[in-house]
Amino acid sequence: MPRELSRVLVANRGEIAVRILRACRDLGIDGIAVYGPGEEHAFHVTLATDAYRIPSDAPIPYLDIPALIDVAKRANADAIHPGYGFLAENAAFADACDAAGIIFVGPPATAIRAMGEKIGSREIAIRAGVPVVPGTDGPVASLEDAVAASAHIGFPLAVKASGGGGGRGFRVARTPDDLPDAFTGAVSEATRSFGNPEVYLERYLDRARHVEIQLIAGADGEVVILGERDCSIQRRHQKLIEETPAPHYRPETRAAMFAAAASLAREVGYRNAGTIEFMLDADGQFHFLEMNTRIQVEHPISEEVTGIDLVAEQLRVAAGHPLTFTQAEIHPRGHAIECRVNAEDPGRNFTPAPGRMTAFRLPTGPGIRVESAFSGGTGQDLTIPTQYDSLIAKVIAHGRDRAEAIARMQRALAEFIVEGVPTTIPFHRNVLAHPAFIAGDLATTFIPEHPEVLPPPSTIIPSPGEDAVPAREIVTEVNGRRFLVRVNGLAEGTSAADNGKRKVARPTRNLPRAAVATADGPDLPSPVQGTVIRFAAAVGDTVEAGAVICVVEAMKMENEVTAHRTGTVAALLVEVGAAVRAGEVIAHIS
């Protein structure tokens, strides 16, 4: 029986938490926020009716299921909305909510399990009559098995995490020589990101478009399609620009994809909002990629053209209500584009650049909507933390047609002010002005095909958070060589942690870490602050310039550190698992 929700806990942070809390307020529901250490004054916390510190010592408290359930009980929450990321597609979390008598705002756990495991979801898609990309029927246990399977599938080849999503656990092998690194990298990232090392193989479609179908199913099982989104402009298989409707998209293809998406949703007994993702090849044939059993980052553009509040509908469906509209009432109007403004340096392969923004102003005006975890209000902490993703804001432009949406987006990006950290804004402006984009010639290979859209490397050196000592430049000598360095660090006797106890920051080394090394010397610095997760070379190896030396993970992204010169690896100065700062020397190549 349908029921009315009165208190909803948002088990997330950042802009999606802000988005959900606003929907709760529109519906007259009390929105309850949770937060981790140092987030007491975060924007989403200020918008909530009540807010609770997550009682967890986990590195990422938003992944602590028992702690979140405990907070929900203490807060007398009727339901929990997981947002996207973190536990949004975790069937065990949905089960835990059910066991606690709390409504999970999302699909049934059975649907999450069925579609969250990529190999199994391929089988379900085939059963529902949805075309899939040629690939292996099950997980590939070893590199030897991958080599054997590649002989039947062919190259280029995609190695994909079975339990993955969001571009993680995904590697492309264009030739047999690429397969060992691709297989090892995919298994490693899948293990860390999802706790599941299983990978499978699919034929990689060159010059394909990434097109996804937004759907929502009511509590009565009625499935309604809300249109498609083109998400082809990507870096590292993660989306940067999305738009709806997809340009140059044949009506018959659209109708077939809509029918396939609805068939797949019915096959798994789906309820609530979800997205079916397809790859559209150069011949116009579509192939099932995956289903996201949650609200998507890019959902606002579908809302703009349909006029439907997807998050509000999620809450109604979770409470047991049918949809407030039918398929016949869906009449998309105009065109909408979303640009993800991230704290990244596009000129350095989109290297994450966490730090503190020193100036921040959001754009406004006709046809512009912005979703952000930062309000820009007086006294707000504008720090982008290292342990979460790099998203600063989503800018959404809506126009009567695609040309007007592009023009409005360009105007909004020109008004958007972010200082203190590099951002993707210059990249977005270059793409939107590029003749290929304006013509709608889109593919997931857009960036490598048009490298001119990448701006030069940023000269900005991000500052640390508010608790840190202001950066200063000094000259130091290491191994007889002089460096200009920028030194950052916590103030003596303080800590960025907020656990109710005062901790003293302890230096990890007696010498400052170099932020700038001479280009012609032996020192290889890390381009990003993060954690060393694996080495691809050992001491004594002879390497060519451009060869991968190690991989540093930062803000959920893997960053390859490559040799700056041809030579011999004389020393590795850090170990796997070590935290490194941007500019810290991690290897000597003689």
For residues 316 and 363, state if they share a domain: no
Output the pLDDT for position 194.
74
DSSP string, 322-382: PPSS-GGG----SEEEEEEEESEEGGGTTEE--EE-SEEE---STTEEEEES----TT---
Judge whether 350 and 422 are in contact, CB under 8 Å.
Answer: no
CA distance 68 to 121: 28
The total number of structural domains that make up the chain: 5
Q: What is the CATH number of the domain that holds 419?
A: 3.30.470.20
End-to-end Cα, the chain, rounded Å: 72
- Peptide linkage before 346 cis (omega within 30 of 0): no
Dist CA 441 CA 443 (whole Å): 7
What is the pLDDT at residue 59?
87
Scored b (16 or more CB within 10 A) or e, 271-286 reads bbbbbbbbbbbeeeeb
Tell me the average pLDDT across 540-562: 85
For residue 351, list its beta bridge partners.
345
**Domain final position from 156, 175, 203:** 203
- Asked if residue 271 and residue 127 are part of one domain, the reply reads yes
Query: Of 305, 333, 361, which closes a domain?
Result: 333
Query: How does pLDDT run across 404-442, given as a tens digit for each residue?
Result: 999 999 999 999 999 999 999 999 999 999 999 999 999
% the chain with pLDDT above 90? 72
- Mark whether 210 and 195 lie in a shared domain: no
Residue 126 to residue 140: CA distance in whole angstroms? 20
The helix/strand/coil state of 110 is helix
Residues 194 and 222 in one domain: no
Range with the lowest mean pLDDT among 159-168, 216-225, 239-248, 515-524?
515-524
450: in domain: no
Q: Are residues 213 and 264 in the same domain?
A: yes
Measured at the CA of 576, the angle between CA 570 and CA 582, to 5 degrees, comes to 75
Give the DSSP H/E element, type plus range, for residue 391.
Answer: strand 391-399
Distances (CA, A) of 238 to 122, 166, 170, 556: 21, 6, 10, 11
Identify the CATH number of the domain in which residue 96 sits.
3.40.50.20
**Domain-embedded: residue 1:** no
Confidence of residue 497 (pLDDT cuts 50, 70, 90): very low
Single-letter residue type at 583: G
Last residue of a domain, one of 432, 451, 483: 432
Of 96 and 546, the structure prediction assigns the larger pLDDT to 96
Check residues 193 and 51 and name the one with the higher pLDDT. Answer: 51
Q: Is the Cβ–Cβ distance between 311 and 295 less than 8 Å?
A: yes
| CATH label of the domain that carries residue 199 | 3.30.1490.20
- Give the model confidence (pLDDT) of 452-469 as tens digits: 999 999 999 887 764 443
Q: Side-chain half-sphere of 392: how many Cα atoms within 13 Å? A: 31
Clarify whether residues 28 and 81 are in a common domain: yes
From the list 327, 188, 190, 203, the residue with the least C-alpha distance to 255 is 327
Residue 540's CB: how many other CB atoms inside 10 A?
8
pLDDT at 528: 79
- Give the CB-side neighbour count of residue 446, counting CA atoms within 13 A: 31
| pLDDT over 70 (residue 486) | no
- Separation between Cα atoms, residue 362 and residue 369, nearest integer Å: 10
Whether residue 115 lies inside any domain: the answer is no
Chain-centroid distance, C-alpha 418: 20
Helix axes 310-318, 14-26, angle to 10 degrees: 70
Is the residue at 455 inside a domain?
Answer: no
Domain membership flag for residue 445:
no
Based on the fold, state whether residues 197 and 235 are members of the same structural domain.
no
Does residue 454 lie in a domain region?
no
| pLDDT tens figures, 250-279 | 999 999 999 999 999 999 999 999 999 999
Mean pLDDT of 376-382: 77
Q: pLDDT-based confidence at 495, cuts 50/70/90?
A: very low
- Computed over every residue of the chain, the mean pLDDT equals 88
Using alpha carbons, list the distances in angstroms from residue 35 to 39, 197, 232, 294. 6, 30, 33, 21
pLDDT in tens, 191-247: 877 778 889 999 988 889 999 999 999 999 999 999 999 999 999 889 999 999 999
Confirm whether 456 is domain-assigned.
no
Q: Is the confidence at residue 506, as pLDDT, over 60?
A: no
Residue 498 predicted with pLDDT over 70: no
Residue 556 reports pLDDT greater than 70: no
Split at pLDDT 50, 70, 90, the class of 504 is very low
DSSP 385: -
User: Domain containing 63: what range?
Assistant: 7-105
- Least confident piece of the model among 100-104, 197-201, 311-315: 197-201
Name which of 557, 515, 552 is nearest 531 in CA terms.
Answer: 552
What does the pLDDT read at residue 387? 84
Is the pLDDT score of 502 beyond 80? no
**Per-residue model confidence (pLDDT) at position 164:** 63
- Burial classification of residue 29, based on how many CB atoms lie within 10 Å of its CB (0-12 exposed, 13-18 middle, 19 or more buried): buried
Statement to judge: residues 38 and 162 lie in one domain: no
Asked, for residue 232, whether it belongs to a domain, the answer is: yes
Pair (128, 141) in one structural domain: no
Q: Which of helix, strand or coil describes residue 453?
A: helix
Residues 268 and 392 in one domain: no
Which percentage of the chain shows pLDDT scores above 70?
A: 89
Residues 326 and 343 in one domain: no
Closest-CA residue to 334 (of 436, 244, 424): 244
The predicted structure's pLDDT at residue 288: 96
Same domain? For 129 and 278 the reply is yes
What is the SS3 assignment for 214-269?
Answer: EEEECCCCCEEEEEEEEEEEEECCEEEEEEECCCCCCHHHHHHHHHHHHHHHHHCC
Its pTM stands at 0.82
